[in-house]
Structure 1
Amino acid sequence: MLAEQAVTWIKVPRPTFDLVGVVLSSLGLAGICAGVALSLGTVLGVGFIVRGRRAPQSLAERLSLHLLEAPPQ
């Protein structure tokens, strides 16, 4: 009536954790992020400096509040 079930066991190698690989890959990723941030910061900084030097206004004129004149009475 009931058929006997056969169980087959397969030997699987135990997984190993590669700590050195994880550390090296995370350092590589951090280096790439630092390089991208340095490049973007340099490009933006140079762009702001060049744009500021091309502007004819002085620093005081750029930072001061420009109030509207009172209407004539």
Structure 2
Amino acid sequence: MAGEFQRPDPLVFDENIAENWHILEQEFDIFIAAAHRDKPRRTQAFILLNLADPEAIERERSFVYAQELTYEI
């Protein structure tokens, strides 16, 4: 199904990264809503990394994520 939709262009790191990220984010949201809205969030995150480009994957590997907090009521 995803082949029917235009994929976002990869993220460009050698120009205005903030603006390029904003554009990719908007295009990705449209792409996911159109082609992959039924997929789990984790799968959607992997799709984002795949579309962003190999450099984005390499940079993501250096991220340190906080554990998800759960609250009991």
Larger radius of gyration: 1
Tell me: higher relative CO, structure 1 or 2? Use CA pairs within 8 A at least 6 residues apart: 2
Q: Does the pair score TM above 0.5? A: no
TM-score, structure 2 as length reference: 0.31
